[in-house]
């Protein structure tokens, strides 16, 4: 019987180099002989990619805070059912660019719904499929936003005011403090290869 794969999620605010690090971490795991599936949120399945368009395009007022949180949770439920759970059951490792902790930090912490309320609606969608390890790329205060502000392609959520993103960063730190076994803060301010080394170190106890 194949044993279940491991589920690792990468998190963080805007502009911490997450997309680059997701690829680099997957490569580092593959170098160790692990079969890795890389995926992302919002998205990662056909239906969830459709919901992604609804969430990230259009004006701020398209969705209220509750509808937005429920749409992220709905996309996540589909992503789990269609993509993540089957891969884990087949023994593959899954590395996801964002997952439930993004909802806890953005919609819960910054969006005003509260982390607990958002945890509850997501628990219904996720079931038992919780990350084994969550790596939060953290930049010294201000750095992330300075970089993201330069990026004119900001979407409906990335383009929110500075205060919103400060609350996101704070919420991620709170989540790491609450669940130190699962959620690890990784300093994202160094050289890319150095950050990747720290990410691998943060999953070292799980490696075969
Ligand atoms: P994306 O283009 O994937 O940005 P990034 O490169 O920062 O990951 O857009 C995702 C945006 O959606 C990003 O601003 C974070 C936000 N988001 C939430 O607010 N809640 C969530 O649950 C998820 C998964 C993402």
Looking at residue 2, its pLDDT comes to 80
Looking at residue 61, its pLDDT comes to 96
Residues framing ligand 1 (Cβ under 6 A): 14, 18-19, 41-42, 56, 72, 98, 102-103, 106-107, 155, 157-158
The closest of 158, 149, 190, 187 to 60, measured between CA atoms, is 158
8 Å CB contact between 72 and 173: no
Give the HSE-up count for residue 84: Cα atoms under 13 Å, Cβ half-sphere. 32
Tens digit of pLDDT at every position of the chain (208 positions): 689 999 999 999 988 899 999 999 999 999 999 999 999 999 999 999 999 999 999 999 999 999 999 999 999 999 999 999 999 999 999 999 999 999 999 999 999 999 999 999 999 999 999 999 999 999 987 555 555 554 556 899 999 999 999 999 999 999 999 999 999 999 999 999 999 999 999 999 999 9
8 Å CB contact between 102 and 148: no
8 Å CB contact between 158 and 15: no
Give the HSE-up count for residue 76: Cα atoms under 13 Å, Cβ half-sphere. 29
8 Å CB contact between 104 and 119: yes
Q: Look at ligand 1, atom 7, and give the residue with the nearest C-alpha.
A: 14
Looking at residue 140, its pLDDT comes to 82
Structure tokens at 58: 């259009």
Phi-psi region of 147 (alpha: psi -120 to 50; beta: other; left: phi over 0): alpha
Atom from ligand 1 closest to the CA of residue 43 = 24
Q: What is the spatial distance between Cα 16 and Cα 8, in angstroms, rounded to a whole number?
A: 17
Atom from ligand 1 closest to the CA of residue 99 = 24
Looking at residue 163, its pLDDT comes to 95
Instruction: Give the tens place of pLDDT for each residue, 152-208.
Output: 568 999 999 999 999 999 999 999 999 999 999 999 999 999 999 999 999 999 999
Q: Which helix (H) or strand (E) is 159 found in, with range? A: none
Looking at residue 143, its pLDDT comes to 57
CA 130 to centroid of ligand 1, rounded, Å? 18
Looking at residue 15, its pLDDT comes to 83
Structure tokens at 106: 């953005």
Atom from ligand 1 closest to the CA of residue 41 = 24
Domain 7-206 superfamily per CATH: P-loop containing nucleotide triphosphate hydrolases (3.40.50.300)
CA 165 to centroid of ligand 1, rounded, Å? 12
């Amino acid at each position: 019987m194949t044993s279940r794969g491991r589920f690792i999620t990468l998190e963080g605010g805007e502009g911490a180099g997450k997309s680059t690090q997701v690829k680099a971490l997957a490569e580092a795991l593959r170098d160790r002989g692990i079969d890795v599936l890389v995926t992302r949120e919002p998205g990662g399945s056909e239906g969830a990619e459709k919901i992604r368009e609804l969430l990230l395009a259009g004006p701020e007022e398209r969705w209220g805070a509750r509808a937005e949180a429920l749409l992220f949770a709905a996309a996540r439920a589909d992503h789990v059912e269609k993509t993540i759970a089957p891969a884990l059951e087949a023994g593959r490792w899954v590395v996801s660019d964002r997952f439930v902790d993004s909802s806890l930090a953005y919609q819960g912490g910054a969006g005003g719904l509260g982390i607990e309320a958002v945890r509850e609606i997501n628990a219904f969608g996720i079931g038992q499929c919780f990350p084994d390890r969550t790596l939060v790329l953290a930049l010294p205060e201000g750095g992330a936003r300075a970089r993201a502000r330069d990026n004119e392609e900001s979407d409906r959520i990335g383009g929110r005011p500075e205060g919103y993103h400060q609350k996101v960063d704070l919420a991620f730190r709170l989540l790491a403090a609450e669940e130190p076994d699962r959620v690890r803060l990784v300093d994202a301010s160094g050289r890319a290869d150095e950050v990747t080394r720290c990410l691998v170190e943060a999953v070292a106890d799980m490696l075969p």
